[in-house]
Amino acid sequence: MVCLGIESSCDETSAALVESGCLMRQVTATQEDIHALFGGVVPELASREHYRLLRPLLRRLFESSGQAGPRLQDVDTIAVARGPGLLGTLLVGMGFAKGLALGLDASLVGVNHLHAHLTAVGLEQKVQYPALGLLVSGGHTHLYMMHSALEVELLGRTLDDAAGEVFDKTAKMLNLPYPGGRHIDTLARGGEVNTALFPRPYLDNQNLDFSFSGLKTAVSLYLEKHPNLRLRTMGIPDGAAEDEHSQELRDVCASFNFAVADTLRVKTERALKSQRVKSLIVAGGAAANTMIRVTAEAIGRKHGLFVYLPSLSLCTDNAAMIAYLGEMLHIAGFSHGYDLDAIPRGRKIPNDYKASRLDNTTAIR
């Protein structure tokens, strides 16, 4: 059984082949350079890039899979990210996937991009369920109860800016290029945390939701008072251009990073009070963050849980996770028709599989 995954929900164009739960091949093209100067993804440019890249990437995927690897005609399932994401970019990937499925007479399955992030680590390690899932991506900061890989229940969600988004917006304020999370992470590693510098937002409540907009405002007010921290021209400080403010910049990044990581810690530990789990999965682009990873490991030690952190290439958007979950859904009897719809960010992904086994407990509730 060979599953081809297609990912185009934001600014990575990616295709991957998964066979029996193992990643065979993956090719990914990132559009970071195109969007860097704009400080965020420009949807129109992103759609055009996916449209331009999907065909050559698919060709490369099968060329690189070599004589012994699966051929296009061996693919029996096409899995495609159907949302949440940018509507235009999703439609490009889905049109491509539907055409392939039709041409190959393969089955089609639309994959919830967030669910795929949460299960991606299964490509690398056998996961012990039930698990608490913490998803920290560019658009979402969500907590899930994962009864199994396919039975996932939402416990808490982003109310405004997601963790990744606030990393990117802080980076933009500092004149670091998009996506700035990685640059803040690097700077923070050389800095000293001042735990009192920034607030840990939206903790004074009993719920499991997240709101990072207050932290963004606090950073903005701080930088108004310390304009010298903003880089004069957009770029990545390389250490060669050390100046009197560079240590201060690192300290601010470390303190900001702490405010995010510790907010995630508090809500995760709050969730652990009511959920009986064996493990903690941290997933999504910002799960690549050093301080968030260290914090997750510490939570695991304290609560006696297995902690699953995908390798860095599986944290950011990729088609391997789409193919992996797509294959599991296909094996469980779930598929979609050609009326499969793209779901933009902000809308709930419906359980609209054309399967006999629709019991409402499968996929994200």
Least CB distance from residue 79 to ligand KG4, whole Å? 16
Q: Is 8 in the site for ligand KG4 (CB under 6 A)?
A: no
Residue from 26, 119, 137, 268 touching ligand KG4 (CB under 6 A): that is: 137
Indicate the residue among 101 and 134 with the shorter CB distance to ligand KG4. 134
Residue from 7, 49, 185, 251 touching ligand KG4 (CB under 6 A): that is: 185
In angstroms, the first-to-last Cα distance of the chain is 28
Least CB distance from residue 135 to ligand KG4, whole Å? 8
Least CB distance from residue 67 to ligand KG4, whole Å? 33
Q: Is 14 in the site for Zn ion (CB under 5 A)?
A: no
Indicate the residue among 164 and 326 with the shorter CB distance to ligand KG4. 164
Q: How far apart are CA 199 and CA 278, in angstroms?
A: 31
Q: Is 39 in the site for ligand KG4 (CB under 6 A)?
A: no
Residue from 5, 93, 138, 237 touching ligand KG4 (CB under 6 A): that is: 138
Q: Is 7 in the site for ligand KG4 (CB under 6 A)?
A: no
Amino acid identity, position 197: L
Q: Is 110 in the site for ligand KG4 (CB under 6 A)?
A: no
The interface region with ligand KG4, picked from 159-167, 192-200, 266-274, 353-361 by CB under 6 A, is 159-167
Residue from 317, 325, 349, 363 touching Zn ion (CB under 5 A): that is: 317
Q: Is 137 in the site for Zn ion (CB under 5 A)?
A: yes
- Give the chain as a 3 state SS string: CEEEEEECCCCEEEEEEEECCEEEEEEEEECHHHHHCCCCCCHHHHHHHHHHHHHHHHHHHHHHCCCCCCCHHHCCEEEEEEECCCHHHHHHHHHHHHHHHHHHCCEEEEEEHHHHHHHHHHHCCCCCCCEEEEEECCCCEEEEEECCCCEEEEEECECCCCHHHHHHHHHHHCCCCCCCHHHHHHHHHCCCCCCCCCCCCCCCCCCCCECCHHHHHHHHHHHHHCHHHCCCCCCCCCCCCCCCCHHHHHHHHHHHHHHHHHHHHHHHHHHHHHCCCCEEEEECHHHHCHHHHHHHHHHHHHHCCEEECCCHHHHCCCHHHHHHHHHHHHHCCCCECCCCCCCCCCCCCCCCCCCCCCCCCCEEC
Q: Is 284 in the site for ligand KG4 (CB under 6 A)?
A: yes
Chain residue whose CB lies nearest ligand KG4: 285
Give every CB contact of residue 209 below 8 A, 6+ residues apart in sequence: 156, 157, 158, 159, 202
Which of the listed partners (ligand KG4, Zn ion, none) does 167 bind, with a CB threshold of 5 to 8 Å by partner kind?
Answer: ligand KG4
Q: Is 182 in the site for ligand KG4 (CB under 6 A)?
A: yes
Least CB distance from residue 22 to ligand KG4, whole Å? 22
Give every CB contact of residue 84 below 8 A, 6+ residues apart in sequence: 9, 112, 113, 114, 139, 140, 343, 344, 345, 346, 347, 349
Binding residues for Zn ion restricted to 86-115, rule: CB under 5 A = none
Q: Is 211 in the site for Zn ion (CB under 5 A)?
A: no
Which of the listed partners (ligand KG4, Zn ion, none) does 47 bind, with a CB threshold of 5 to 8 Å by partner kind?
Answer: none
Number of residues counted as binding ligand KG4 (CB under 6 A): 20
The interface region with ligand KG4, picked from 104-112, 137-145, 218-226, 241-249 by CB under 6 A, is 137-145
Q: Is 133 in the site for ligand KG4 (CB under 6 A)?
A: no
Least CB distance from residue 316 to ligand KG4, whole Å? 4
The interface region with ligand KG4, picked from 43-51, 54-62, 175-183, 207-215 by CB under 6 A, is 175-183
Least CB distance from residue 286 to Zn ion, whole Å? 10
C-beta of residue 175 within 8 angstroms of C-beta of residue 236: no
Q: Which pair of structure tokens corresponds to residue 146? A: 């994962």
Write out the residues near Zn ion by the rule CB under 5 A. Answer: 137, 317
Write out the residues near ligand KG4 by the rule CB under 6 A. Answer: 10, 137-139, 164-165, 167-168, 179-182, 185, 284-286, 288-289, 316-317
